[in-house]
Amino acid sequence: MSKSKLEYLWLDGYDPTANIRSKTRIEENFSGKLEDCPMWSFDGSSTKQAEGGNSDCLLKPVAIYPDPARRNGFLVMTEVLNPDGTPHASNSRATIDDADHDFWFGFEQEYFIMDTATQLPLGFPVGGYPGPQGLYYCSVGGKNTWGRDLVEEHADLCLDAGLQFEGINQEVAAGQWEFQLFAKGAKKAGDEIWVARYLLQRLTESYGYYIEYHPKPIKGDWNGSGMHANFSNTLLRTCGSKETYEKVCEAFRPVTKEHIAVYGEFNDERLTGQHETASIKDFSYGVSDRGASIRIPIMTVEKGWKGWLEDRRPASNADPYKVAARIIKTVKSADI
């Protein structure tokens, strides 16, 4: 008789920045299939999702991955439901309108690795600063690179878990890194970012580090952290029309505030118009322009206006489900 460890993952009710939560369920003779993952429950009064007198919330399994760090382990991404089976108010995944999986997303997740003892990013000395930005981006060598062991181990875990993990690189600030994930289907893309975040955060427990997703944890002349959202649908992948791309981009202009509202807490500290960002007060788009709100990749143009767009505004602490849901709504509203 075999026993498996199923780690159920869900988003809590903290607003506007949700946290990943998890707990383990032991199952005998588990098949490894999503359809054999039972519904479960948790104490919502401890996660800002229920009152103490009526505290049960349900966990509905929606995706499953092998857990490479545990023997007979699985990672089970779930949605939070009310006791009557309806989506909980905190269930952002349920708001995504992509039933046919037509929308593809590639998220670029930036983050800082923080030393638990000093509460500073790796590479930052106590009471001072490392050298100015310039030599950290995609650097190699102990003088300008910190945290590679953690980052490499995280990449291996994501690959072993079967995530569509696309790459890693050190970012512009000291102690800042990025990983990329891609998925066909908005819900799947959100699932994989949250599972990858979970694996990264769990891994830091062995290093004496923690992950900082605040979009501007170091004030001053340092890059902030984003979660750039690359997206496409059949229209963008096949239209072959500059005019169509411009109409899609223009659909974002009148709903700028609605996007910013779900693009992450403290994003005003990052979207200043400096450090490869557009100002939070403006909306712009342009070919190969990393200072625009939406960048039209040069590859899209070179392929005859068939490809994708990149919304550079989402912050590193944004919920990918909310970001995807808002982008899909806007793209579908375009007058085409």
- Say if 3-91 and 104-333 have the same CATH topology: no
Work out the average pLDDT over 313-329.
98
Question: Cα-flanking dihedrals φ and ψ of residue 99, to 5°?
Answer: -60, -30
- Distance of CA 262 to CAs 16, 174, 255, Å? 8, 27, 12
d(CA 326, CA 261): 10
**CATH code for residues 3-91:** 3.10.20.70
CA distance from start to end of the chain? 58
43's enclosing H/E stretch is strand 40-43
Fold of 104-333: Creatine Kinase; Chain A, domain 2 (3.30.590)
DSSP string, 63-93: EEEE-TTSTTEEEEEEEEE-TTSSBPTT--G
Say whether pLDDT at 320 is over 80: yes
HSE (CB half, 13 Å, CA atoms) of 332? 11
User: Is there a contact between 228 and 104 (Cβ–Cβ < 8 Å)?
Assistant: no
Domain range summary for the chain, segments of one domain joined by + = 3-91, 104-333
d(CA 121, CA 334): 42
Position 335 scores a pLDDT of 84
d(CA 49, CA 51): 7
Say whether pLDDT at 336 is over 90: no
d(CA 255, CA 247): 14
Nearest to 170 by CA among 199, 145, 133: 145
Query: Which pair of structure tokens corresponds to residue 94?
Result: 């349920």
Residues paired with 165 in a beta bridge: 181
Our CA dihedral for 197, 329, 270, 285, rounded to 10 degrees, sits at 120
Position 227 scores a pLDDT of 98
The pLDDT-based confidence of 53 (bands split at 50, 70, 90) is confident
Q: Where are the alpha helices (DSSP H) in the chain?
A: 148-160, 186-204, 234-238, 242-252, 256-261, 298-302, 320-333
Say whether pLDDT at 1 is over 80: no
Q: What is the pLDDT of residues 76-117, one digit of tens each?
A: 999 999 999 999 999 999 999 999 999 999 999 999 999 999
- Distance of CA 171 to CAs 112, 174, 315, Å? 9, 8, 15
How confident is the prediction for the chain on average, in pLDDT? 97
User: Is there a contact between 245 and 252 (Cβ–Cβ < 8 Å)?
Assistant: no
Q: What is the pLDDT of residues 233-262, one digit of tens each?
A: 999 999 999 999 999 999 999 999 999 999
Return the exposure string of 67-96: e unless at least 16 CB atoms fall within 10 Å of the residue's CB, then b. Answer: bebeeebbbbbbbbbbeeeeebebbbbbeb
